[in-house]
Structure 1
Amino acid sequence: MTTTAQQPLNSGFGAASTAEEVIKGIDLTGKVAIVTGGYSGIGLETARVLRTAGAEIVVPARDVERARTALEAVPGAEVEYLDLLDPASIDSFAEKFLASGRPLHLLVNNAGIMATPLARDARGYEAQFAINHLGHFQLTTRLWPALVAAKGARVVVLSSRGIRFAGVDFDDLNFEHRTYEPFLAYGQSKTANALFAVEVDRRGKEHGIRAFAVHPGLIIDTGLVKHIDPAMLRAAGALDSAGEPIRDPERQMKTVQQGAATTVWCATSPRLDGLGGVYCENVDITPLVTPENEAAWATGDTIPGVLPRAVAPEAAARLWEVSERLTA
Structure 2
Amino acid sequence: MPVRQEPLHSGFGAASNALEVIQGIDLSGKIAIVTGGYAGIGLETVRALRSAGATIIVPARDLPKAKAALAGLEGVEIGALDLLDPTSMDAFADGFLTSGRPLHLLINNAGIMACPLTRDARGLEAQFATNHLGHFQLTARLWPALRAAGGARVVSLSSLGHRFSPLVVDDPNFERREYDRWLAYGQAKTANILFALGLEARGAAHGVHAYSVHPGSIVDTDLQRHLTQDELKAFGVLDAEGKAIRDPARNLKTTAQGAATTVWCATSPQLEGHGGAYCENCDIAQLLRPGEEAALGTPTTRRPGAVMAGVLPYAVDPAAADQLWDLSERLLGITFRPA
Q: Deviations over 1:291-313 (max 9, x none)?
A: 13334455456642100101111
Please say if 1:282 is aligned against 2:281.
Answer: yes
Is the Cα–Cα contact under 8 Å of residues 251 and 302 in structure 1 kept in the other structure?
A: no
Q: CA deviation at 1:233?
A: 1.5
Whichever structure has more helix as a proportion of its residues is 1
CA offset digits 1:80-135 (Å, max 9, x no partner): 00000000010111111011110000000000000001100000000000000000
The CA deviation at 1:248 is: 0.7
Query: In the TM superposition, what is the alpha-carbon distance from 1:4 to its structure 2 partner?
Result: 2.0
- CA deviations on 1:258-292 (whole Å, 9 max, x unpaired) are 00000000000011123200100000001101113
Q: 1:146-197: per-residue Cα shift (whole Å, max 9, x none)?
A: 0000011000000001111111111111111111111110001000001000
1:324 to 311, 326, 329: 329
- Counterpart among 303, 311, 314 of residue 306 in structure 1: 311
| Distance (whole Å) between structure 1 residues aligned to residue 72 and residue 332 of structure 2 | 35
Distance of 1:181 and 1:303 partners within structure 2: 22
C-alpha contact 2:163 2:293 (8 A) present in aligned 1 = no
Secondary structure (helix, strand or coil) at the match of 1:310 reads: helix
RMSD: 1.2
The answer to whether residue 25 in structure 2 is matched with residue 22 in structure 1 is: no
Residue type matched to 1:312 in 2?
D
The worse-fitting range, judged by mean Cα deviation, of 61-70 and 33-42 is 61-70
What is the match of residue 50 of structure 1?
49
The residue correspondences of 1:1-328 to structure 2 (distance < 5 A) are 3-296=2-295, 299=303, 300=305, 303-328=308-333
- Deviations, residues 204-260 of structure 1 (Å, cap 9, x unaligned): 000000000000000011121111122122122210111111001111110000000
Matched residue SS, 2:187: helix
Letter in 1 for 2:321: A
2:176 partner letter: H
Which secondary structure does the structure 1 equivalent of 2:223 belong to?
coil
Secondary structure at the residue paired with 2:84? coil
Amino acid at match of 1:176: E
Paired residue secondary structure (2:213): strand
Confirm or deny: 8 A CA contact 2:3 2:274 kept in the other structure: no
Partners of 1:252 and 1:301 within 8 A in 2: no
Return the alpha-carbon distance in structure 2 between the equivalents of residues 91 and 237 of structure 1: 40
TM-score, normalization by structure 1: 0.97
Runs of 5+ unmatched residues, structure 2: 298-302, 334-339
Q: Hey, what's the Cα distance between the residues in 1 that align with 2:135 and 2:308?
A: 29
TM-score (norm 2): 0.94
Query: How far apart, in 2, do the equivalents of 1:32 and 1:165 lie?
Result: 35
Distance 2:38 2:219 in 1: 16
Q: How many aligned positions are there? A: 327
Q: Name the aligned partner's letter for residue 316 of structure 2.
A: V
